[in-house]
């Protein structure tokens, strides 16, 4: 079989500097074919990577090899082995069962008449089809080179597709921390694809973005914001703990020069904008020297990463400001009733814990937590003489006190902000009772909004456990016993059961945020 190959002599070349290898599967039942193929391609190099040969001597063995090496770039596949169509069955298995559309399959046959070229290429997604008699060393070199270029381009297109998918997914909710990481990772995939980087075990591609870099700040204090490749799952760790000294030196240089530092096969870019001093971006696995067009792309990307990051920071600042205003307003109301301390904060965290245990989604539980401090905001409309009366209220005074639910609802109801809207619901419903005997509307059971049902229980439990102008604090046992006694009356039975099972966690919240003396 080896005599079928006619190899022309080629000039000697200096061995290239290699950075990894391309996997080539040789599938043929003739050992001589394996030997001659390896000899002909022994000095082959493409993009600084040589060839790694993997041999299989039958169709069955080829299936096992491609399963074990799904990252193979090329398969040189004999058609006739243990059966006349063994190679074709392997090609079908790769494409239709393994769904591997990356590996380039080059059919080699000593009997081309048995499998018409057009039919085979169309039906089995064959990259090339050659008779063994026509494969000289030069032609083998050419077909392997063209196949590797196709394989490289397919990987590049797929990386771009994956990056675009991440960006589209993240754009639906860009202003959340998780989506921001998705956004940066996705854009990074586009960048590394354009630069010709390849994210695998040999050529690692990664990003490192760390915000809030101030003038003269030591880069050792930065933390990983998002990462790919070897830096994946390193988010939140200090840069100094994940980078070796040589890379740290490059980070120092990029930060102090406020520029992009290119070294060997990686770069460190200083990202800046008009709002902050900047952050740092690290990309490795560059296969060649970066040209001017690629440098301009990197500069643009660096600027956009910082702007996107700052937009998220600004959004978080707005949300934090809104939440703080809610807390401050609620605490002001509590001060009027001579109830100093952390009541509204405790109620907020108890609400979140109960909501999660009840099965509310994270977004709903968080909304309830941030809105619950507004439950008694209507007390601003209650006279001090009634609000702070240290004895039982007379009937007409009690009727005035009960209006605080409606007052709070009226104050908040027209807001367009989700947290304030939730606060309006809580203010309105947190004095309704499961059996319909509450106020202001006499709602019952599930007609009472779940926000109101949860906030009512959290408010009552915390109020029982702490001193008020009209009572001393109750013990945990007494407070829990009261809650249980009101199951099906004031409180939803399912929520009572949840509180019973989580009373230790709720008591921990009370211990963490005690009232001030």
- The catalytic residue positions are 379
Q: How far is CA 166 from the centre of its chain?
A: 9
Residues 275 and 273: their CA atoms lie apart, in Å, by 6
Token pair of 40 as six digits: 């002909």
Helices assigned H by DSSP within 391-489: 395-412, 418-429, 450-465, 476-485
Under a CB-based contact definition with an 8 Å cutoff, are residues 147 and 106 in contact? yes
Q: Are 358 and 450 in contact (CB under 8 A)?
A: yes
Q: Using CB atoms within 10 A of its CB, is residue 233 exposed (0-12), middle (13-18) or buried (19+)?
A: exposed
Q: What's CA 142's distance to the chain center, in Å?
A: 42
What would the 3-class secondary structure string for 32-79 be?
HHHHHHHHHCCCCCECCEEEEEEEECCHHHHHHHHHHCCCCCEEEEEC
Instruction: Give the start-end residues of each E strand in 224-276.
Output: 260-263, 266-271
Residue with the two structure tokens 């990307």: 301
Comparing CA positions, the residue from 38, 34, 127, 135 lying closest to residue 74 is: 127
Sequence-separated (6 or more) residues with CB below 8 Å from residue 284:
197, 203, 204, 205, 206, 229, 265, 266, 267
Give CA–CA dist 260/55, Å, rounded.
44
Q: Which residue has the tokens 């520029």?
A: 259
Among candidate residues 52, 42, 71, 19, the one with its CA nearest the CA of residue 196? 19
Residue 118 CA, chain-centre distance (Å), reads 45
- Output the CA–CA distances (angstroms, integers) from residue 80 to 100, 133, 147, in the order listed: 22, 15, 22
Would you tell me the crossing angle of helices 343-358 and 503-512 to the nearest 10 degrees? 150
Closest CA to 37 of 67, 69, 75: 75
109 alpha carbon, distance to own chain's centre: 48
Cβ burial of 476 (10 Å; 0-12, 13-18, 19+) is middle
């Amino acid at each position: 079989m080896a005599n079928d190959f006619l190899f022309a002599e080629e000039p000697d070349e200096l061995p290239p500097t290699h950075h990894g290898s391309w996997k080539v599967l040789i599938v043929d039942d003739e050992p001589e074919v394996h030997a001659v193929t390896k000899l002909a391609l022994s000095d082959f190099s493409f993009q600084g990577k040589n060839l790694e040969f993997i041999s299989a001597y039958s169709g069955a063995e080829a299936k096992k090899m491609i399963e074990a090496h799904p990252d193979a770039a090329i398969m040189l596949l004999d058609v006739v082995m243990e059966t006349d169509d063994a190679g074709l069955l392997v090609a079908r298995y790769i494409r239709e069962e393994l769904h591997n559309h990356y590996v380039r399959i080059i059919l080699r046959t000593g009997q081309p008449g048995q499998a018409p070229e057009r039919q085979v290429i169309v039906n089995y997604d064959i990259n090339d089809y050659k008779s063994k008699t026509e494969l000289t060393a030069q032609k083998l070199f050419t077909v392997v080179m063209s196949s590797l270029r196709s394989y490289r381009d397919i990987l590049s297109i797929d990386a771009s597709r994956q990056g675009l998918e991440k960006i589209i997914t993240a754009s639906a909710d860009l202003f959340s921390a998780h989506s921001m990481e998705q956004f940066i990772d996705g854009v990074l995939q586009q960048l590394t694809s354009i630069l010709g980087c390849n994210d695998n075990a040999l050529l690692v591609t990664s990003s490192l973005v760390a915000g809030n870099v101030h003038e003269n700040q030591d880069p050792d204090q930065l933390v990983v914001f998002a990462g790919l490749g070897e830096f994946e799952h390193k988010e939140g760790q200090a840069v100094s703990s994940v980078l070796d000294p040589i890379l740290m030196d490059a980070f120092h240089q990029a930060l102090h020069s406020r520029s992009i530092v290119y070294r060997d096969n990686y770069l460190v870019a200083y990202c800046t904008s008009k709002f902050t001093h900047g952050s740092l971006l690290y990309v490795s696995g560059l296969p060649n020297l970066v040209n001017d067009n690629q440098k301009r792309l990197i500069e643009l990307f660096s600027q956009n990463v910082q702007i996107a990051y700052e937009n998220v920071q600004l959004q978080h600042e707005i949300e934090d400001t809104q939440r703080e205003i809610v807390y401050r307003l609620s605490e002001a109301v509590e001060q009027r009733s001579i109830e100093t301390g952390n009541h509204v904060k405790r109620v907020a965290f108890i609400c979140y814990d109960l909501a999660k245990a009840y099965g509310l989604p994270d977004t709903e539980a968080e909304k309830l937590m941030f809105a619950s401090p507004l439950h008694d905001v209507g007390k601003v409309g209650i006279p001090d003489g009634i609000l702070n009366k240290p004895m039982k209220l007379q009937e007409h005074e009690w009727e005035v006190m009960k209006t605080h639910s409606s007052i709070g609802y009226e104050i908040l109801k027209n807001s367009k902000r989700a947290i304030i809207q939730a606060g309006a619901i809580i203010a309105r419903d947190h004095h309704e009772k499961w059996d319909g005997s509450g106020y202001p509307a006499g709602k019952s059971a599930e007609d009472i909004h779940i926000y109101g049902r949860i906030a009512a229980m959290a408010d009552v439990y915390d109020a029982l456990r702490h001193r008020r102008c009209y009572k001393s604090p109750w013990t945990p046992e007494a407070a829990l016993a009261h809650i249980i006694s009101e199951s099906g009356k004031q409180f939803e039975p399912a929520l009572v059961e949840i509180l019973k099972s989580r009373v230790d966690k709720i008591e921990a919240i009370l211990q963490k945020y005690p009232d001030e003396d």
